[in-house]
Amino acid sequence: MTLPVRSPRFADAREAADLAAFLGRLLHYDRAAAVRLQAGGGALAVFGRPPSFDVLAIRTAGLSGDHDFDVTVSAGELLEALDTELEALDAEGAGEAVCSLPAPVTGPPWAGMLPPRGGWQERPGLPDPVDLRTRLTDAVAEFRSRDAALPEDRRTRAERDLIGRDIWSRTVGDTELPLRAVHAAQSLGFLRPAPDFPVALLTAGSWLRLRTPFGSIALRGSGGGGLGALAVTVGTA
């Protein structure tokens, strides 16, 4: 039996809580964020775009039951619905997490421009997670140092943006992946300090995808073009 679009049932409460944590991080960068939701095959794929990084963030959650829907909603309203459900479960001490989705919204342009569904191949050359985190730490320190060195008459948003573009457009390892994609992965909770933490770089056409156990970051390659010239495709995580 197909469950209503408005009431996805999560495999367990932890799946709902992890999704809520992701939405909270996404809203930190854009309080008016929208997310596109695609359900099928026992999983919910959630797509968001944190504007600070110019990438697509992809988070999945396990579902229980036969769900099949594709809808764009307010990230803030979805987080409120999840928090309400999780609070009710805590009060009751047991039960399944069944979230009532908010009303659909008119999606932003990126919501119709998702990565391809298949055809992904793993590529070599990506540094290990420890090295990735070290590079991020060094990059943040460099940004702060260069920002502090700006004379007062040049301490503007435009100058800081130039510094940021120089640092975060650098590629990592022997790959085309820009450092800003790794920064996005860490900022959204996808890149975590843990032993034997697996990360991989996948490609499909001109798309790049940094995959971790907690989510993926996708963007177009070939010079770090971000999301500016996406082909409209229907995809999933």
* Total tally of structural domains belonging to the chain: 2
Label the pairing between strands 56-62 and 34-40. unpaired
CB-CB contact of 22 with 215 (8 Å): yes
Residues 78 and 165 in one domain: no
Which amino acid makes up residue 200?
Answer: A
Q: Tell whether 3 is covered by a domain.
A: no
Label the pairing between strands 215-220 and 207-212. antiparallel
Residues 23 and 88 in one domain: yes
pLDDT higher than 50, residue 224: no
**Cα–Cα dist 65/83, whole Å:** 21
CATH code where residue 48 lies: 3.10.150.10
Pick from 27, 14, 55: which is nearest to 169 by CA?
55
Last residue of one domain, picked from the residues 68, 83, 112: 112
Last residue of one domain, picked from the residues 112, 143, 162: 112
Q: Tell whether 58 is covered by a domain.
A: yes
Average pLDDT for the chain: 87
Q: Tell whether 151 is covered by a domain.
A: yes
**Cα–Cα dist 1/66, whole Å:** 7
Residues 126 and 212 in one domain: yes
Residues 176 and 136 in one domain: yes
Q: What is the DSSP letter of 53?
A: T
What six digits make up the tokens of 188?
Answer: 């959204």
Please give the residue range of the domain that contains residue 30.
Answer: 13-112
Residues 92 and 142 in one domain: no
**Cα–Cα dist 208/231, whole Å:** 14
Q: What is the pLDDT of residues 126-154, one digit of tens each?
A: 998 889 999 999 999 999 999 999 998 89
Residues 137 and 88 in one domain: no
pLDDT higher than 70, residue 124: yes
Residues 147 and 216 in one domain: yes
Residues 24 and 101 in one domain: yes
Residues 81 and 142 in one domain: no
Question: Which of 6-10, 21-25, 160-164, 180-184 has the lowest average pLDDT?
Answer: 6-10
Pick from 18, 92, 91: which is nearest to 59 by CA?
18
The pLDDT score that the predictor gives to residue 5 is 55
Q: Tell whether 165 is covered by a domain.
A: yes
The pLDDT score that the predictor gives to residue 103 is 93
Last residue of one domain, picked from the residues 48, 81, 112: 112
pLDDT higher than 80, residue 227: no
Higher-scoring residue by pLDDT: 92, 190 = 190
Residues 128 and 178 in one domain: yes
| 189 pLDDT tier (thresholds 50, 70, 90) | very high
Q: Tell whether 2 is covered by a domain.
A: no
Q: Tell whether 32 is covered by a domain.
A: yes
φ/ψ of 126, rounded to 5, equals -80, 130
Residues 98 and 165 in one domain: no
Q: What is the pLDDT of residues 165-181, one digit of tens each?
A: 999 999 999 999 999 99
pLDDT higher than 50, residue 225: no
Q: Tell whether 225 is covered by a domain.
A: no
